[in-house]
A and B are shown apart, each in its own frame.
Chain A
Amino acid sequence: MKRCILFLALSVCAPSVEAHLFLYENVECNLHDTRKTRIEFSIHAPELPTAVARGIDPASVDETWLQGLDKETIEVLKNEAGAFIRETFLLQLGNEEWIKKCVIEFESVDRIQHPPPETQLPSGCLLATVWINNPESSLPLTVGFAPTAQKRLMVAIARPAAFPEVHDLAPGESVSISLPTPPPPPVVPEVIVAPPSSRSPWIPWLVVTTTCGLGLGLFLRRKRSR
């Protein structure tokens, strides 16, 4: 159990690097937090319309490619990635189509261009994140893939102290994921607490007075014995 605390949990399934990266779309569902689920999409930016229009070879981009783009282009790519996510993926909680209404977070342009080493995001990728507050009832989360998608989808589910659970989906397929139940709100016991003003001053005074009294007693005793 201590190990579990020390090492939060297993990393989510790592997507492949470079040329092989874009064999699959990659979605990672992180279920470590019982209150909310983090869903990450690794979007291979060279395959977005702006990059395709520029004739970018999706296999040949390295970390310098995003660094070499201007901020406006990266903002355009982020918008295109957002639209692509909403068109391509299904996130459904019960009957609620989450993907249509949720906020899709992207990293700042600076972090996209200069990702910190711990990110370990493959070259040319944009990381998009969606948060879902886990429902109190046992509603499953459905992760699906549009029938018109042009790749397969690898869904990786990270649970504490477990191997990543992977699902390989063809276009049109989906997987149902049971989310952890959030802990009940903490019950606060009714306790009458004394006002701080009446509690704090007398203890130090008592300590000081006792110490001084003992000190004075010892001093007088020594003086008498001489």
Chain B
Amino acid sequence: MRVFQQLKLSALLCLSILGPLVTATLNAQESPLPEGIRFVEKLPVNGLTIHVGERSLAMYRPASNAESDKTPVAIFLTHARRDLTTGARPLVKDTRIFVPAIPEGTEEMAEIFTKPQIHWKAWWEKRFDYYGQQVTRVPVRRLPPSGVVKDGDHIELSGESIEVMATPGVTREGVTYLIERGGKRIAFSGNLILEGGRVPDLYSFQEAIVDAKVGAYHGYAGRFGPWIESLEKLAAKKPDVIVPSQGPLITDPQADIAKAIERARAIYANYLSTNALHWYFGEERMRTCADKVLGSDAPMESMPMAEHIDLPAWVQHIGTTKLLVSKDKVGFALDVGSPNALKTLQEAVANGLVTKIEGIWVTHRHNDHTQAVRDAQEALGCPVYAIESVAEALTNPGAHFSPGISANAVKDVKVVADGETMAWREFDFTFRFFPGQMLDHGAMLVQPKEKTSDPIFFIGDSFSPSGIDDYCLMNRNLMREDSGYLKCFQIVREELPENSWLVNQHIPHLFRFTDKELDHLETRYRERIAMIAEFTPWDDPNYAIDEQWAWLFPYGQEVKRGEKFTVTLRVMNHSKIDREFRVRSHFPKSLIQMKATLPSLKIAARESGELTMEGRALEDAALGVQMITLSLSSDGLDLPHWCEAMVKVVK
């Protein structure tokens, strides 16, 4: 028995001595990082600590809360997104924070680290008529940096030499830090590239392509070009390992970079092959866009223009307004997008071209279709019709945030359901939910009762004779069978009367696609859905193209001191599984949340859900714009400060 005990003791002793040695050896073989660098892959942001003697430096955030890690001398951040910066905030007192310089031309973001309130105060107004199309998930709380780094900087700190390389792409300001240790070159590139040649999402790439005179609004993946340049620059540095801010280490950088570039190019070539902008901008400008991403020798596919003819006499084109004129000279307007368009309508009445205008149908939310609807309703005294989500934004624009929302609130909008019909003069109208150019978008089928001419389907801005209007990734072009362009293809192919024509509000033509052309558009589009699914880490590609799958309603509201208010989280569960979202709110000091904890939000697969929380502005609340953010988590997701809402405290 004693012998057995002695043996057991010896074995334990051996294990206790040899165990760590064996583990260390195994780790040394397995870990691609050199000694003294501790990496922990975790949600929402990876942690990495570089030990330099007694001191340590951290990338993104410390690897752990262990004594040796938790108070680094410095922490290095690669970009200005809330998920990254909030992790560094608790360390501000004892740790130096290095952040990237905000590039020229983005002045509104210049002080986003030091004085984010300047950005958000301006944003209260700027969010209207906004076509900059940048992700709003930027800091709302101060993070005063000790150092601002830029391309070419070399930082010597605690004996460690760190090279800085500008690597814009996913963000405008993104940088990569490079260090050499143990004969290895290690790159810390933030969210520039994820393991497996992927990126966090697609909408972050929306950007102007200045050389092609394409603005940010039309710049689908416009930062693919600079991003590819960044990746090629990084590849040229021949890093042994890339440590991203999310997900596993990239242990074969050259292979993953090549894969990422190849995927991005395939997506962009696919986008160009179905693009509505060919109609407007022509071959040369689209070629310039292609050159930036695909390279100057790469082929560019585009669809020939669909058949198009002049508008019939009963449809007048006035800017982005279409005016239907009945035989007895009564008008019905589709969109009133500018004061000039309204003036033209008023003069048409004054001149007797029409005796009156009996209604206004609003196709979608963009201000070039809605800006003068409020004034038109007052001046012409006629009802305004729209589908529900368009009506919501027309009557309460400040509560919503999407591209180009006009601040001109319309008093009263008659909501029409998908499929609802209405007889008007010698025509029959059918209203449709038509989520083409944007999610909140309708269309109207107009059929002459006497069948004197072919039916016309007024599709807002959803197609042009060259393809689909999906150039703005902030427009929420969902890639689902029940929504987005797949839904539109289904309606156009299967649900319209024979010989129907399409009309885009910007184009004074009727046009229609052949079956072959529709096949081309739909096939390519379905291919792109699969490509995006491969390119991004989510369980459904819609998360990667829908920045607003979770958002707070109202986006902006005014609250008096001492007054209660509500904020509602609206979530679209794009996953094909049921999800339970755990929610944590972050209120500023001037606002308090009435209940300390929030219940979780269970949403069935592909369904939507919402959760309302109550708050109150303190009696002595600071006046002005206050930011509320909300963190979300669910299986495999940890999204700190994911959505924001603005509360403007007034007296």
Measuring CB to CB, which residues of chain A are less than 8 angstroms from any residue of chain B?
3-4, 6-7, 9-24, 47, 52, 55-60, 62, 120, 122, 149-152, 154, 161-164, 166-168, 170-171
- How far is A170 from B308 in the complex, measured between Cα atoms in Å? 13
Q: Contact between A163 and B350 (Cβ–Cβ < 8 Å)?
A: no
Q: Contact between B404 and A18 (Cβ–Cβ < 8 Å)?
A: yes
**Does B320 lie at the interface of the complex (its beta carbon under 8 Å from any beta carbon of A)?**
yes
Distance in Å: Cβ of B339 to nearest Cβ of chain A = 5
* Chain A positions within 8 Å of B316 at CB level: 163-164
From the candidates A58, A163, A164, name the one contacting B208 in the complex (CB within 8 A): A58
- How far is A7 from B404 in the complex, measured between Cα atoms in Å? 32
Distance in Å: Cβ of B352 to nearest Cβ of chain A = 6
- How far is A22 from B133 in the complex, measured between Cα atoms in Å? 17
Q: Contact between B218 and A171 (Cβ–Cβ < 8 Å)?
A: no
* Chain A positions within 8 Å of B352 at CB level: 3, 161
Q: Contact between B351 and A59 (Cβ–Cβ < 8 Å)?
A: no
* Chain A positions within 8 Å of B105 at CB level: 55, 57
| Chain B: number of interface residues, binned into ranges | 35 or more
Residues 198-231 of B at the A interface (beta carbon under 8 Å) = 208, 210-211, 213-219
CB-defined A-B contacts under 8 Å, sample of 26: A3-B352, A4-B351, A6-B350, A10-B348, A11-B344, A15-B340, A16-B337, A18-B129, A18-B367, A18-B368, A19-B368, A21-B368, A23-B280, A52-B213, A56-B210, A58-B214, A120-B343, A150-B282, A150-B285, A162-B353, A163-B318, A163-B323, A164-B318, A167-B508, A168-B508, A170-B282
Interface string of B318-346 (1 = CB under 8 A from A): 11110100000000000001111101100
- How far is A151 from B351 in the complex, measured between Cα atoms in Å? 33
Q: Given that A150-B284, A151-B280 are known contacts, is A57 also in contact with B317, CB under 8 Å in the complex?
A: no
Q: Contact between A17 and B337 (Cβ–Cβ < 8 Å)?
A: yes
- How far is A154 from B505 in the complex, measured between Cα atoms in Å? 13
Known: A24-B506, A57-B215, A163-B323. 15 other contacts (CB 8 A): A7-B347, A11-B340, A11-B343, A11-B344, A17-B367, A18-B129, A18-B131, A18-B404, A52-B213, A59-B133, A59-B217, A60-B208, A122-B338, A164-B316, A171-B282
* Chain A positions within 8 Å of B353 at CB level: 10, 161-163
Give the 9 A-B residue pairs with the shortest CB-CB distance, closest first. Answer: A59-B215, A14-B340, A14-B319, A19-B217, A19-B131, A57-B208, A59-B217, A7-B350, A16-B368
Q: Contact between B338 and A58 (Cβ–Cβ < 8 Å)?
A: no
From the candidates A10, A55, A166, name the one contacting B317 in the complex (CB within 8 A): A166
* Chain B positions within 8 Å of A7 at CB level: 347, 350-351
Q: Contact between B131 and A60 (Cβ–Cβ < 8 Å)?
A: yes
* Chain B positions within 8 Å of A57 at CB level: 105, 132, 208, 210, 215-216
From the candidates A19, A120, A164, name the one contacting B404 in the complex (CB within 8 A): A19
Distance in Å: Cβ of B474 to nearest Cβ of chain A = 11
* Chain B positions within 8 Å of A122 at CB level: 338
**Does B81 lie at the interface of the complex (its beta carbon under 8 Å from any beta carbon of A)?**
no
- How far is A72 from B343 in the complex, measured between Cα atoms in Å? 34
Most buried by B among A4, A58, A167: A58
**Does B587 lie at the interface of the complex (its beta carbon under 8 Å from any beta carbon of A)?**
no
From the candidates B281, B285, B344, B351, name the one contacting A13 in the complex (CB within 8 A): B344
**Does B61 lie at the interface of the complex (its beta carbon under 8 Å from any beta carbon of A)?**
no
Q: Given that A4-B351, A163-B353 are known contacts, is A150 also in contact with B281, CB under 8 Å in the complex?
A: yes
Q: Contact between B280 and A152 (Cβ–Cβ < 8 Å)?
A: yes
Interface SS of chain A: loop
Residues 443-500 of B at the A interface (beta carbon under 8 Å) = 461
| Closest A residue by C-beta to B366 | A20
* Chain B positions within 8 Å of A15 at CB level: 319, 338, 340
Q: Contact between B339 and A120 (Cβ–Cβ < 8 Å)?
A: yes
- How far is A10 from B77 in the complex, measured between Cα atoms in Å? 58
| Closest A residue by C-beta to B214 | A58
- How far is A69 from B214 in the complex, measured between Cα atoms in Å? 21
Interface SS of chain B: mixed
Measuring CB to CB, which residues of chain B are less than 8 angstroms from any residue of chain A?
104-105, 129, 131-133, 208, 210-211, 213-219, 279-282, 284-285, 316-321, 323, 337-341, 343-344, 347-348, 350-353, 366-368, 371, 403-404, 461, 506-509
Q: Contact between A3 and B351 (Cβ–Cβ < 8 Å)?
A: yes
Most buried by A among B281, B323, B404, B508: B508
* Chain A positions within 8 Å of B210 at CB level: 52, 55-58
Q: Contact between A60 and B216 (Cβ–Cβ < 8 Å)?
A: yes
* Chain B positions within 8 Å of A14 at CB level: 318-319, 321, 337-341, 343-344
* Chain A positions within 8 Å of B104 at CB level: 55
Distance in Å: Cβ of B366 to nearest Cβ of chain A = 7
Q: Given that A19-B218, A22-B215, A23-B280 are known contacts, is A10 also in contact with B351, CB under 8 Å in the complex?
A: yes
Q: Contact between A164 and B344 (Cβ–Cβ < 8 Å)?
A: yes
| Closest B residue by C-beta to A56 | B210
- How far is A13 from B506 in the complex, measured between Cα atoms in Å? 12
Q: Contact between B213 and A150 (Cβ–Cβ < 8 Å)?
A: yes
Distance in Å: Cβ of B121 to nearest Cβ of chain A = 16
Q: Contact between B341 and A22 (Cβ–Cβ < 8 Å)?
A: no
- How far is A166 from B313 in the complex, measured between Cα atoms in Å? 12
- How far is A18 from B472 in the complex, measured between Cα atoms in Å? 14
- How far is A23 from B275 in the complex, measured between Cα atoms in Å? 14
Distance in Å: Cβ of A122 to nearest Cβ of chain B = 8
From the candidates A47, A52, A59, A163, name the one contacting B131 in the complex (CB within 8 A): A59
- How far is A11 from B279 in the complex, measured between Cα atoms in Å? 27
Distance in Å: Cβ of B216 to nearest Cβ of chain A = 5
Q: Contact between A59 and B320 (Cβ–Cβ < 8 Å)?
A: no
Q: Contact between A151 and B281 (Cβ–Cβ < 8 Å)?
A: yes
Q: Contact between B280 and A24 (Cβ–Cβ < 8 Å)?
A: yes
Q: Contact between B368 and A59 (Cβ–Cβ < 8 Å)?
A: no
* Chain B positions within 8 Å of A164 at CB level: 316-318, 344
- How far is A112 from B566 in the complex, measured between Cα atoms in Å? 44
From the candidates B214, B279, B282, B506, name the one contacting A16 in the complex (CB within 8 A): B506
- How far is A44 from B413 in the complex, measured between Cα atoms in Å? 34
- How far is A163 from B324 in the complex, measured between Cα atoms in Å? 12
Q: Contact between A9 and B351 (Cβ–Cβ < 8 Å)?
A: yes
* Chain B positions within 8 Å of A149 at CB level: 282
From the candidates B216, B282, B320, B351, name the one contacting A20 in the complex (CB within 8 A): B320
| Closest A residue by C-beta to B472 | A19
- How far is A3 from B131 in the complex, measured between Cα atoms in Å? 40
